[in-house]
Chains A and B, each alone.
Chain A
Amino acid sequence: MGKRPTNNQAAHAAEGVEKIDVKAVNTAETRKLYKKREKIHPKAARGRFRKLKWAIMVLTLGIYYLAPWIRWDRGPGAPDQAILLDLPARKFYFFFIEIWPQEFYYVTGLLIIAALGLFLATALAGRVWCGYACPQTVWTDLFIWIERKIEGDRNARIKLDKAPWTAGKIAKRVIKHVLWLLVGALTGGAWVFYFADAPTLARELLTFSAPPVAYITIAVLTLTTYLFGGFAREQVCTYMCPWPRIQGSMFDEQSLLVTYHPKRGEPRGKHKKGESWDNRGHCIDCKQCVAVCPMGIDIRDGLQLECINCALCIDACDAVMDKLGLPRGLIGYDTVAGLEAVTHDDPYKKTRPKFIRGRTIVYTLLIALVGGGMLYTLLNRGDLELNVLRDRNPLYITLKDGSIRDGYTIKVLNKAHKTRKLELDVIGLPEATLKMIGLKTKTPQKRLPVTVGPDQVKSLRVFVIVPPDKLASGAEEFDFRVKDTETGLVLRHESVFRGPKK
């Protein structure tokens, strides 16, 4: 570009046309197939979004580290940890909720709600999850904060990077990495407390008597936290995470985005004191927005895959606008529709985003539907459950006196933390008598006593016997009924009694 050939290079492309000896830097032939990560040194930002992000960091990390230590009294014999994933017993405790394996659909429901919630948040405010709440963002923020405390802000860090390995540099680096590893270890350390009684496990961990899987989990999470928070950082978001790629289809022209207002900012350029702002843009090209960006992008290039919408560039630009005496918001939250509505004549034009629109209504309804369904079943489920499995082979048995006998496996789930005394009988088969394996009395009864221990699933082999010729049809519908002899609680479960075809 504009490079003049020296006289001794005077080659000619054609008669009268000189050939310049220059090579395009960026041709496909010279470009590398693999790109080394270029280190990003984000500058500290100050402002309302930074404050909000600190608050969210304290809140989310606080919940993460402290939640397993909350106690919740469930009575003797049951764990007193508020949040506990008891994998060996296959039970999940969450405050007053206790989920057994056969209720795992609640977890499915929670995941569906989480996914829909993410969709809704994205439709409303773009990558708000990425920018504020994603663990990768929060932990990277924490790692950068530690880095800044030890090595100083952006310029000091760049300088330190280039500096020779003096004792001071080594000391700073060692402290930084030790602190990072410590955060990683605490992260992994907190994780394992969700799967066992926290105080007990903590004691075991410190006396090196905890199960190996606890140490392995902590080691793996320490390493991944250290790698992802200290080194991979934005690479995780750009290359590993599928969510940024999916989001392209999640937001529309009404979704809020962190964006630069080109119609107000351009043409950009240096501004001298006292100079008029007429006929030029408000962007003074100070590049503060670039310096604070943890993703290493220039927000002024427009919507980009890498941008996690962390809003730190808003803080940086707002501070500059304040200094210049111009209104804030050259970089701010706006929608694509809002950007288009801005004109050069009215560069400050604000368009209210349409929050209520097709997709947000659908997402909200779906969340309400799934959440409402879950809440309904959760509130209406008892701590006693009855399940009946009918023998299918053989369908029925003819006894020697001509009676018909059907076999059933009945499961009684007692989710209470105490022993229950129940009575089992049948409704809808007036002539029927019952027999149960394991009962002392071998003669068929009208009513059977059943004792179920605390937190127990009891499986009963029950035979229903109907005397000869008392069946109206080959398949009689009836109910099994259990009654709690103390509380009077009654549960019924329908089933079918089969006999010879009539």
Chain B
Amino acid sequence: MSAADNKPQTHPSDPETTGHEWDGIKEFNNPLPRWWLWTFYATIIWSIGYWILMPAWPFLGDDYSKGLLGYSQRQELADELAAAEAARSEMNAKLVKADLSKIEDDPQLLEYAMAGGRSAFGVNCAQCHGSVGQGAPGYPNLQDNDWLWGGTLEDISTTIHVGIRSTHEDTRSGDMPAFGLDETLNKEEIAAVADYVLSLSGNGSGNEKGAEIFAENCAACHGDDAKGNQEVGAPNLTDNIWLYGGDRATVIETITKGRGGVMPSWEGKLDEATIRQLAVYVHTLGGGE
């Protein structure tokens, strides 16, 4: 770049150019305003003040520089959580004190319980029951209106408290025996009763033999009409909702090997307010009785 290229442009008072050119547009080599320079220095001074006052330097051994103001994002989070907890304490107390069946009549309490229940469900229940309680094979769908142990708010609350086949002393329990493995029934008998059970919900035609076997072996829990018994968690076999699957092979497997899914007891792990929130949340998923 020769000096001649940097020479004035259109007017004698124009400064030299920097020699940069884009599509015929040249850049004047104007001096920067001095205040701009001072502003830059001010930001440097600010940053030094920031280092001293705020957490700034990592890798000081296992630690970092704390800063004179003692600010910490972790502490801020802890404070905010504590503040949120404190803000919730009043509603939680109200929730625990309220008559369980009356909670849903109080719009404010209902909204609070549903919102809290949703988040508690996501943390504690969604792993098995699915993100919105839609269930999975072996894990009941909580959205429908088919309940193994009862769908009233009271029933749901009890189930969350004591669990199913859990370690709680008052746990809900009931056994589906392994009719095949225990050699109570042989293969033909199991097939016959499976066909009969399927026919109850309109899948295929039943048979006399199956009906007899059912009356002898199954009706004690599932009922003469096969509509189930919530006392022992025996499912209704006349609807088309299946916990493990409603195809013939799965039904035969269920009769042969038995079933015994476990739900943990949440008493002691979750406080009463959270359990009530969960109960209300599950109850309002759509199938609550």
Task: Tell whether, in the assembled complex, residue A397 and residue B286 are in contact, meaning their CB atoms are under 8 Å apart.
Answer: yes
Task: Tell whether, in the assembled complex, residue A461 and residue B284 are in contact, meaning their CB atoms are under 8 Å apart.
Answer: yes
Nearest B residue to A391 via CB reads: B132
Task: Tell whether, in the assembled complex, residue B144 and residue A398 are in contact, meaning their CB atoms are under 8 Å apart.
Answer: yes
Task: Collect the chain B residues with CB atoms within 8 Å of residue A393's CB.
Answer: 131-132, 134
Nearest A residue to B30 via CB reads: A35
Cβ of B195 within 8 Å of any chain A Cβ, yes or no, is no
Task: Tell whether, in the assembled complex, residue A37 and residue B105 are in contact, meaning their CB atoms are under 8 Å apart.
Answer: no
Task: Collect the chain A residues with CB atoms within 8 Å of residue B96's CB.
Answer: none
Give the Cβ gap from B137 to chain A, nearest Cβ, in Å: 14
Task: Tell whether, in the assembled complex, residue B132 and residue A405 are in contact, meaning their CB atoms are under 8 Å apart.
Answer: no
Nearest B residue to A435 via CB reads: B286
Max chain B Cβ within 10 angstroms of own Cβ: one of A37, A400, A438, A440: A400
Cβ of A11 within 8 Å of any chain B Cβ, yes or no, is no
Cβ of B59 within 8 Å of any chain A Cβ, yes or no, is no
With A28-B16, A437-B284, A440-B105 known as contacts, the answer to whether A397 contacts B32 (CB < 8 A) is no
Interface size on B, residues (CB 8 A): 35
Task: Collect the chain B residues with CB atoms within 8 Å of residue A277's CB.
Answer: none
Task: Collect the chain A residues with CB atoms within 8 Å of residue B287's CB.
Answer: 397, 399
Give the Cβ gap from B108 to chain A, nearest Cβ, in Å: 11
With A398-B240, A399-B145, A399-B287 known as contacts, the answer to whether A37 contacts B131 (CB < 8 A) is no
The stretch that binds A, out of B34-42, B50-58, B247-255, is B34-42
Task: Tell whether, in the assembled complex, residue B31 and residue A397 are in contact, meaning their CB atoms are under 8 Å apart.
Answer: no
With A28-B29, A397-B143 known as contacts, the answer to whether A36 contacts B34 (CB < 8 A) is yes
Task: Collect the chain A residues with CB atoms within 8 Å of residue B286's CB.
Answer: 397, 405, 407, 435, 463
CB-CB contacts below 8 Å: A2-50 with B: 28, 31-37
Interface size on A, residues (CB 8 A): 31
Task: Collect the chain A residues with CB atoms within 8 Å of residue B97's CB.
Answer: none
Give the Cβ gap from B103 to chain A, nearest Cβ, in Å: 10
Task: Tell whether, in the assembled complex, residue A35 and residue B33 are in contact, meaning their CB atoms are under 8 Å apart.
Answer: yes
Give the Cβ gap from A112 to chain B, nearest Cβ, in Å: 29
| Separation of A435 and B285 alpha carbons in the complex (Å) | 11
With A301-B13, A399-B287 known as contacts, the answer to whether A35 contacts B31 (CB < 8 A) is yes
Give the Cβ gap from B226 to chain A, nearest Cβ, in Å: 13
| Separation of A401 and B145 alpha carbons in the complex (Å) | 9
| Separation of A55 and B9 alpha carbons in the complex (Å) | 40
Task: Collect the chain B residues with CB atoms within 8 Å of residue A437's CB.
Answer: 104, 110, 114, 284
Cβ of B236 within 8 Å of any chain A Cβ, yes or no, is yes
User: Which one of B105, B110, B146 lies within 8 Å of A399 (CB-CB)?
Assistant: B146
Task: Collect the chain A residues with CB atoms within 8 Å of residue B104's CB.
Answer: 437-438
Task: Tell whether, in the assembled complex, residue A399 and residue B144 are in contact, meaning their CB atoms are under 8 Å apart.
Answer: yes
Cβ of A239 within 8 Å of any chain B Cβ, yes or no, is yes
Give the Cβ gap from B35 to chain A, nearest Cβ, in Å: 7
| Separation of A463 and B16 alpha carbons in the complex (Å) | 76
Task: Tell whether, in the assembled complex, residue A400 and residue B145 are in contact, meaning their CB atoms are under 8 Å apart.
Answer: yes
Task: Tell whether, in the assembled complex, residue A35 and residue B239 are in contact, meaning their CB atoms are under 8 Å apart.
Answer: no
Tally of A-B Cβ pairs under 8 angstroms: 77
Give the Cβ gap from A403 to chain B, nearest Cβ, in Å: 9
Task: Tell whether, in the assembled complex, residue A35 and residue B32 are in contact, meaning their CB atoms are under 8 Å apart.
Answer: yes
CB-CB contacts below 8 Å: B10-53 with A: 11, 13, 15-16, 29-37
With A399-B144, A438-B104 known as contacts, the answer to whether A394 contacts B241 (CB < 8 A) is no
CB-CB contacts below 8 Å: A244-302 with B: 301-302
Cβ of A402 within 8 Å of any chain B Cβ, yes or no, is yes
Task: Tell whether, in the assembled complex, residue A400 and residue B146 are in contact, meaning their CB atoms are under 8 Å apart.
Answer: yes
| Separation of A426 and B224 alpha carbons in the complex (Å) | 40
Give the Cβ gap from B171 to chain A, nearest Cβ, in Å: 25
| Separation of A461 and B143 alpha carbons in the complex (Å) | 13
With A301-B13, A302-B11, A402-B240 known as contacts, the answer to whether A394 contacts B134 (CB < 8 A) is yes
Task: Collect the chain B residues with CB atoms within 8 Å of residue A37's CB.
Answer: 33-35
Task: Collect the chain A residues with CB atoms within 8 Å of residue B34's CB.
Answer: 34-37
Task: Collect the chain B residues with CB atoms within 8 Å of residue A32's CB.
Answer: 31
| Separation of A204 and B163 alpha carbons in the complex (Å) | 57
Cβ of A450 within 8 Å of any chain B Cβ, yes or no, is no
| Separation of A302 and B10 alpha carbons in the complex (Å) | 11
| Separation of A195 and B16 alpha carbons in the complex (Å) | 49
Task: Collect the chain B residues with CB atoms within 8 Å of residue A302's CB.
Answer: 11
Cβ of A387 within 8 Å of any chain B Cβ, yes or no, is no
Nearest B residue to A405 via CB reads: B286
Task: Collect the chain B residues with CB atoms within 8 Å of residue A398's CB.
Answer: 144, 240-241
CB-CB contacts below 8 Å: A447-481 with B: 461, 463
Give the Cβ gap from B168 to chain A, nearest Cβ, in Å: 28
| Separation of A401 and B239 alpha carbons in the complex (Å) | 6
Q: Mark B139-174, 1 if CB is under 8 A from A, else 0.
A: 001011110000000000000000000000000000
Give the Cβ gap from B268 to chain A, nearest Cβ, in Å: 29
Cβ of B107 within 8 Å of any chain A Cβ, yes or no, is yes
| Separation of A397 and B240 alpha carbons in the complex (Å) | 12
Nearest A residue to B147 via CB reads: A400
| Separation of A397 and B132 alpha carbons in the complex (Å) | 12
Task: Collect the chain A residues with CB atoms within 8 Å of residue B33's CB.
Answer: 34-35, 37, 235, 239
CB-CB contacts below 8 Å: A399-434 with B: 399-402, 405, 407
Give the Cβ gap from B25 to chain A, nearest Cβ, in Å: 10
| Separation of A174 and B233 alpha carbons in the complex (Å) | 89
Cβ of A232 within 8 Å of any chain B Cβ, yes or no, is yes
| Separation of A401 and B146 alpha carbons in the complex (Å) | 9
| Separation of A33 and B40 alpha carbons in the complex (Å) | 14
Q: Which 3 A-B pairs have the closest CB atoms?
A: A400-B239, A35-B31, A394-B134
A-B contact pairs, 7 of them (CB 8 A): A28-B6, A34-B32, A34-B37, A35-B31, A37-B34, A394-B132, A397-B143
Chain B residues engaging chain A, CB cutoff 8 angstroms: 6, 11, 13, 15-16, 29-37, 104-105, 107, 110, 114, 131-132, 134, 141, 143-146, 236, 239-241, 284, 286-287, 289
Given contact pairs A37-B33, A400-B144, a sample of 12 additional A-B residue pairs in the complex whose CB atoms are under 8 Å apart? A34-B33, A35-B30, A35-B31, A35-B33, A391-B132, A393-B132, A394-B143, A397-B144, A398-B144, A399-B146, A400-B236, A405-B286
